Structure 1
């Protein structure tokens, strides 16, 4: 069983040789961004997607050493942490680049609930209101994690904040910004359009249903149950379909109390997003 170290001794990723680390709390759109970046590198370098086994982008670096080693992971085993157990020591990233992917905290919380309900090895037994107030791996852990990175963003060699909502609003433009930050040559407009179409929600859902990528990172936990899919449902602001006004107030109040003010707009990003009642979620 995993035994978290003290906050002074952070958990390091299994791959410590990365040039760029893409970090996130679970359910912020990490698989979508990973698939976009994998397809972009494959298209630009002419390297088959098959070398990117289990969506590990370092497979491209093994074939072409000029491709930076890009490692995705949930920094410091954050899903299994309490707020007090999170490490504030980010010295590991001092000579590396860091991309932090965030998402509206309320949409994140709802999507995370369905993950622990259907995709955890020990399924969560409570209701969504119970989950919101859990001490481990829920709302306050996520907000504290973001707040730590707000305070420590000057530790890495370079730091980039992006979000699911920015990717949804301008997928090609935001992807180009992330790729450029990682040190990858900018792709042309047509190439980016191909990449965006490849990772569009319906295409990702089809990949998941057919197990096209042969990875648990894009495979239903319970075939036939859409709530168990990586490509689940959520629209931007979809939390309103699941949370009561009192539950929303709880998350909003926690955000204002825990997260540094400059990053609070990102945590409330769904409030600024245009209404999109028919937009399907891209947040695996």
Structure 2
């Protein structure tokens, strides 16, 4: 069995993180916090000149909105539809690549599978210019916050979390890696009419994964039989992904795939915190189409 160089590189970064002080694990770039080991300033600057292609398959998500789950689903869709396996980067985040990998990506045959947690204003302009299709996944902010909290608590490349209350405050003020959830949501709200952008929610996919696979395949112009759709759905439940994560994500598997539940926020939020999030959501996303799509009332009250 061939070693996965991408996985090996990640394990090496995790080892470095264990020897690094918390203060050095994050840095600000254009006002936004990023993990210094995984996407240093050199990486973010190199992205500005990245050449996107029209047939790139681009997956976008704010952290902990279901990105890694959808990475697995999209890999299977591409494999079934095109008969090709995409290179197993862990994960395929363009901000993790750096100049050397970006150069190698220019030689990679299509379709290239790419992903990012970046705010849409920070995604390289060539993606818009070349009309690259982007699948964007969002999740209700309460469950996103809980998942982000546990992820930060168990991820050595991020600073250790002082407490649930302190992380709640940081999330609400946008003082977390990749910035404010609400800033991301409002920026994608403006792109709801873009034919090259498809926004899906974590909750929709949990409810009916087969329907989501059909929609996503159609959006990227991939043709799947119903048998293929059902096979992918069966192999792509959160529990199935979690069980296979030791092979795909090494030691990080249990950190990345934790519970995958809708409504876990009820085990963490105080009534005051719940009200604070409700007020923030209504103020920032109330009356928006993305806000309606997130079905906040059903999932968060």
Q: Where in structure 2 are the equivalents of 1:163-178 lying within 5 Å?
A: 163-178=201-216
Q: 1:234 to 1:240 in 2, by over 3 A?
A: farther
Query: For residues 89 and 121 of structure 1, what CA distance do their matches in structure 2 show?
Result: 23
2:61·2:117 contact (CA, 8 Å) conserved in 1? yes
Count of equivalent residues: 246
Considering only aligned residues, what root-mean-square deviation do their CA atoms show, in Å? 3.5
CA deviations over 1:78-129 (Å, ceiling 9, x no partner): xxxxxxxx94898554232222110011000100111111114243332222
* TM-score calculated relative to the size of structure 2: 0.69
Q: Secondary structure at the match of 1:261?
A: coil
Structure 2: 5+ residue stretches without partners: 1-25, 33-43, 95-103
Q: CA shift at 1:57, angstroms?
A: 10
When residues 122 and 72 of structure 1 are mapped into structure 2, their CA distance, relative to the original with a 3 A threshold, is closer
Does 1:4 pair with 2:29? yes
Matching residue within 201, 208, 212 for 2:247 = 212
Offset at residue 45 of structure 1 (A): 2.8
Q: 2:74 aligns with which of 17, 37, 60?
A: 37
- 1:145 corresponds to: 184
**1:184 aligned residue:** 222
What is the Cα deviation at residue 165 of structure 1? 0.9
> 1:107 and 1:64 mapped to 2: Cα distance?
37
Structure 1 residue runs of 5 or longer lacking an equivalent are: 77-85, 274-284
Alignment of 1:69-218 (within 5 A): 69-76=112-119, 87=121, 91-94=125-128, 95-134=131-170, 135=173, 136-137=175-176, 141-154=180-193, 158-185=196-223, 187-208=224-245, 211-213=246-248, 218=249
Q: Which moved more, 1:119-128 or 1:250-259?
A: 119-128
Q: Indicate conservation of the 8 Å contact 1:57/1:71, yes or no.
A: yes
Matched residues in 1 for 2:108 and 2:227: separation?
24
The residue correspondences of 1:239-254 to structure 2 (distance < 5 A) are 239-254=265-280
